[in-house]
Structure 1
Amino acid sequence: MTQERIILGFLLLLITSCSKIENNSTKLYERIMGQNSWGYNDGKGNVVIPLGKYKFLNPIDEKGMIYANKGTKYGYIDIHENILVPFEYDDLTVFSQELSCAKKNGKFGFINRKGKIVIPIQFENETFFRKNGLALVKKNDLYGFIDKKGKEIIPLLYQNANQVILDSLVTVKKQGKWAFFDSFGKQKTDFIYDEIAATSFNYKDTFWKNGLILVRKNRQIGYLDKNLKEVVAFGKYETGDRFNSNRIAIVSKNQKYGIIDEFGKEVVKTEYDTIEHPEESYRESEIFLAKKGNYLILLDKNGKKIYDKIKDFSFDHASLGNKTQKIYHIQDLNGKYGAINTKGELVIPVMYDEFRDFRSNNNAIVKHKGKFGLVDLNNKITYPIDNEEIEQNSRDLAFYIIKKNGKVGIINKELKTMINFDYQDLQPCFYDQINKFIAKQNGLYGVIDRLGGIIIPFQYTEMSNWVEYGPGSNFHFVTKDKKQGLITKEGKTVIPVIYDSLFYDSDKIIILSKNGKYGVVTIQNKQIIPFAYEKIYLEPSLFSKKKETEFYVLKNGKYSIINDKNEVIKSDLPKNEVENKFSYYYN
């Protein structure tokens, strides 16, 4: 997939985008998406290009052209729907170096902005022109490079080829070996490399702008500079990474790891068991994590040691006043927690049994000598460390649920009491985690609001919050006097709390038992199977492949299969076979 195609794929995710076209006056147009179609409105919301005509429209480019998909064909239009490139192509790319790669009858070529074919449609790959003025093309399963006039700068004679966005160098492969060429077609090295690695640099590819080029020859790695001179000799290191944007790379020899700079100098000696970039927010971080023996070492993006001899660490952000800064939680070899800043300065002493994330907040939950409290980035105690538990709501960090002296209450982000410590338990309702709470008082559950007002009275010995395969987040399964039922989040009865057991499969199938007999109702409490059976089993709808709902029922000691009309489909089923079949689901 080419870079242009990646960009286009990203743009497809956007529901709307705004574009400006410069002519006599500047107009703002808004790209809109409908059901399987796209259009444009003007800045006042008036329709300029209606929905329903085009399967896809790209944002307006710098020359006022819009990449468009109509039916099964692709072309270019302007904002007034004038056709600039006819809809006769199976695919097109956005313009790169003023040319668009066009696909027709399974082959590729190039058109200009007037829709004229300037490089014949003859190639086997989608491609585009890089900054060096070349495009990598394939024909008859062989690769080479052409310029914008279609001239072969590097003949199409090779097994494979590669180019990058930033550099003038390209690489080609012959008889299993790679060589470097420049953008004028001059061969710069012999075909001697088994592998030549490109590097990511600010989302653009490069061979050498990060520092050195990683190559492999005769099963050994080495590094070359931009002039293709050998800087790190082949065989000096057993393994090596590409150079990163800070112009350093991880290497290893004798199964020990270190870091080198662009001059081949070891800025971190090869003395560690491992060195890696830890993951931060689902991506590789700039810092390094090294391991030596039974401890870890943090190194900054330049390889300088931040902190030594730790058991574990994690990333976090903390606020102090109006400023937010990155910090690292660290755990020492004795299991105690603290925090350092990016310079390696200790900001939270390594003294806590637990230390939860600030998450860009002013306070963090800590545990010390078996009790919980809150501290700020200066390790100032902002809420006493004398509580049995503290939990922070996960949605917007708006409050803390605190248990103290056997009672539970809530304080807000400003550390003021929000709900008094009058409850045995409190948990935010799944359907409104900011304003409503399931509360327990005197052994019974109900629902209250953030001011302590009662929404559902305290009358249930059990109350569900959210069930993955339940009836949704607007309901509670409840138990009262050992009987079960279902209520809404407002406390309205859906299934009366009179049943000995309740099994929810779907809104259309709820299996209940009462006085030793089983039946089935809907979520509207409409009976579909009478309470006439000693057992009712059902394959959960998630796993069942049958079109018709089948219930396995026990009556007078015999199992049968019935449908949702209570009609017998099959009778006299072996008892052991049925009960073994459903033991996993119902026990």
Structure 2
Amino acid sequence: MKDTTKRLFFCYTLLISNCMFAQEHDYKTFEKNTMEGTKVGITNKKTGKEVLPAVYDNVFEYENERFFVQNNGKIGVIDTMGKIIIPFQYDDVAVKDDRAFLRKANKWAMFNYQAGIAMTTFQYDEVLGYEDGIARVAIAGKQGYVDKFGKQILSCKFTEGYDCYGEFILVYEKVFVSTGYEYVTRNNDGEIINKRDIGSSDKLPIVFNKQGKIVYKGVHGERVKFCNGKSVFIVEGAMENYSKPAYHKLIDASGFTIIPYSTKYKFDPDKNWIRIDAPTGRGILGFDGKVLLNPNFASISDYTYNNETLAKVSFKNDSFFYIDTNAKCVEFNGVKCPE
């Protein structure tokens, strides 16, 4: 899982000039040359009527009847009637879904840009992500989480975190793992002058829900994988050595272990379901953890058939059939479903 440490998913002012107008909607920019230079305004594409006069330095974003506009080097928000919703006081803007993040004096705050209300104070050094109604923010290099109403879910104390995924928030906590041995330093008289534990640093996964309650706290060597259905997740345990496979277990949103650890099974999240790799063969789990195809098959392909709507499931004797995205058998190209 890749940690997004920049606001790459936002259209924000330093990288765009007309990002909003690459999208399909009813408005377009127009320019006017003035004694103060080129100014930008907005017209309605259907009616041709002027919506905003060409008196602004730039228009960066359009969301839900709101324009994010720069004037005299500062950014604010105006509606389609020309009413100022958020005054021109800010240095940068990042917009995602139903929230805007505005920067002032090198600090960020979250805004409900439709109402023009600040949901938090200007306290964050960075806004790292906003997914499923949860913002991932940072203060002094430490990450935390805030909901869409500005309520702090987790304080900024984590060195590694990831964007909210459905009901889950994943962070990693740094720990020191001891080997059980000490490095002892003695003086010339044999007296102990220093003891140092021998070990190494590691990180343990912690999964929270949106309310900040711990769903799962991992142990040394574990890593977490989320699934498309956003209702279960996979925990991968560490390998004892590189000659042995990692082990996996499947956990639901309440923290209940649906399938316990086993070195015999490997789970791999896919777009439509979870693949099972077992000694007996390949199979499929639904995102609720229920078995859709028992792990008794030689292989299960990606969706590359019938305009990428079907996958091929092969038996060990090389015969096969096709399944749809719900893992249901579908007769296709003369191949019937098995009994």
Same fold (TM over 0.5): yes
Alignment match, 1:180:
110
> Is 1:231 the equivalent of 2:153?
yes
Question: In the TM superposition, what is the alpha-carbon distance from 1:152 to its structure 2 partner?
Answer: 3.7
Return the match for 1:193 from 105, 118, 124: 124
Pairing 1:95-114 to 2, within 5 Å after superposition:
95=26, 100-105=27-32, 107-112=39-44, 114=47
Return the match for 1:257 from 190, 199, 205: 205
Assess, with a 3 A threshold, how the Cα gap between structure 1 residues 300 and 361 changes in structure 2: closer, same or farther.
Answer: farther
Q: Is the 8 A contact 2:144 2:154 kept in 1?
A: yes
TM-score under structure 1 length normalisation: 0.38
Stretches of structure 2 lacking an aligned partner (at least 5 in a row): 1-10, 12-17, 33-37, 175-202, 240-245, 304-308, 323-330
Return the match for 1:365 from 314, 318, 328: 314
Q: Is the 8 A contact 2:267 2:274 kept in 1?
A: yes
> Is 1:141 the equivalent of 2:73?
yes
What count of residue pairs does the alignment treat as equivalent? 262
Assess, with a 3 A threshold, how the Cα gap between structure 1 residues 365 and 315 changes in structure 2: closer, same or farther.
Answer: farther
Distance 1:301 1:361 in 2: 28
Q: Secondary structure at the match of 1:413?
A: coil
Pairing 1:425-464 to 2, within 5 Å after superposition:
none
Return the match for 1:124 from 57, 62, 66: 57
Question: In the TM superposition, what is the alpha-carbon distance from 1:155 to its structure 2 partner?
Answer: 3.0
Give the letter aligned to residue 207 of structure 2.
I
Give the letter aligned to residue 250 of structure 1.
L
Q: Is the 8 A contact 1:101 1:126 kept in 2?
A: no
Measured against aligned partners, the alpha-carbon deviations of 1:138-181 in whole angstroms (never above 9, x if no partner) come to 234332222334344433232202334434xx322123211234
Distance 1:217 1:188 in 2: 17
Q: Is the 8 A contact 2:107 2:123 kept in 1?
A: yes
Question: In the TM superposition, what is the alpha-carbon distance from 1:122 to its structure 2 partner?
Answer: 2.7
Assess, with a 3 A threshold, how the Cα gap between structure 1 residues 174 and 198 changes in structure 2: closer, same or farther.
Answer: same
Give the letter aligned to residue 266 of structure 1.
I
Alignment match, 1:212:
134
Q: Is the 8 A contact 2:85 2:116 kept in 1?
A: yes
Question: In the TM superposition, what is the alpha-carbon distance from 1:265 to its structure 2 partner?
Answer: 0.8
Measured against aligned partners, the alpha-carbon deviations of 1:226-285 in whole angstroms (never above 9, x if no partner) come to 3323221221x33222223x332222212111321111011122336322346xxxxx66
Measured against aligned partners, the alpha-carbon deviations of 1:529-561 in whole angstroms (never above 9, x if no partner) come to xxxxxxxxxxxxxxxxxxxxxxxxxxxxxxxxx
> Is 1:297 the equivalent of 2:257?
no
Distance 1:357 1:266 in 2: 36
Alignment match, 1:485:
none
Measured against aligned partners, the alpha-carbon deviations of 1:171-220 in whole angstroms (never above 9, x if no partner) come to 221232112344454555432101224535xxxxxxxxx35332211211
Distance 2:97 2:302 in 1: 40
Pairing 1:337-348 to 2, within 5 Å after superposition:
337-342=281-286, 343-346=288-291
Identity percentage over the alignment? 20
Distance 1:344 1:124 in 2: 54
Q: Secondary structure at the match of 1:162?
A: strand
Alignment match, 1:247:
167
> Is 1:330 the equivalent of 2:276?
yes
Give the letter aligned to residue 162 of structure 2.
D
Alignment match, 1:35:
none
Q: Is the 8 A contact 2:107 2:122 kept in 1?
A: yes
Assess, with a 3 A threshold, how the Cα gap between structure 1 residues 109 and 363 changes in structure 2: closer, same or farther.
Answer: closer
Assess, with a 3 A threshold, how the Cα gap between structure 1 residues 108 and 296 changes in structure 2: closer, same or farther.
Answer: farther
Distance 1:270 1:223 in 2: 20
Question: In the TM superposition, what is the alpha-carbon distance from 1:117 to its structure 2 partner?
Answer: 2.3
Assess, with a 3 A threshold, how the Cα gap between structure 1 residues 266 and 108 changes in structure 2: closer, same or farther.
Answer: same
Measured against aligned partners, the alpha-carbon deviations of 1:388-409 in whole angstroms (never above 9, x if no partner) come to xxxxxxxx963xxxxxxxxxxx
Assess, with a 3 A threshold, how the Cα gap between structure 1 residues 268 and 211 changes in structure 2: closer, same or farther.
Answer: farther
Bigger radius of gyration: 1
Distance 2:222 2:66 in 1: 43
Distance 1:217 1:250 in 2: 18
Distance 1:195 1:373 in 2: 54
Distance 1:346 1:181 in 2: 44
Measured against aligned partners, the alpha-carbon deviations of 1:80-132 in whole angstroms (never above 9, x if no partner) come to xxxxxxxxxxxxxx32xxxx24222554212345433242113333445433x
Q: Is the 8 A contact 1:339 1:347 kept in 2?
A: yes
Alignment match, 2:184:
none
Q: Secondary structure at the match of 1:233?
A: strand
Distance 1:264 1:135 in 2: 34
TM-score under structure 2 length normalisation: 0.61
The Cα RMSD (Å) is 3.9
Task: Compare relative contact order (CA 8 Å, sep 6+) and give the higher one, 1 or 2.
Answer: 2
Q: Is the 8 A contact 2:30 2:43 kept in 1?
A: no
Distance 1:176 1:128 in 2: 21
Give the letter aligned to residue 89 of structure 2.
L
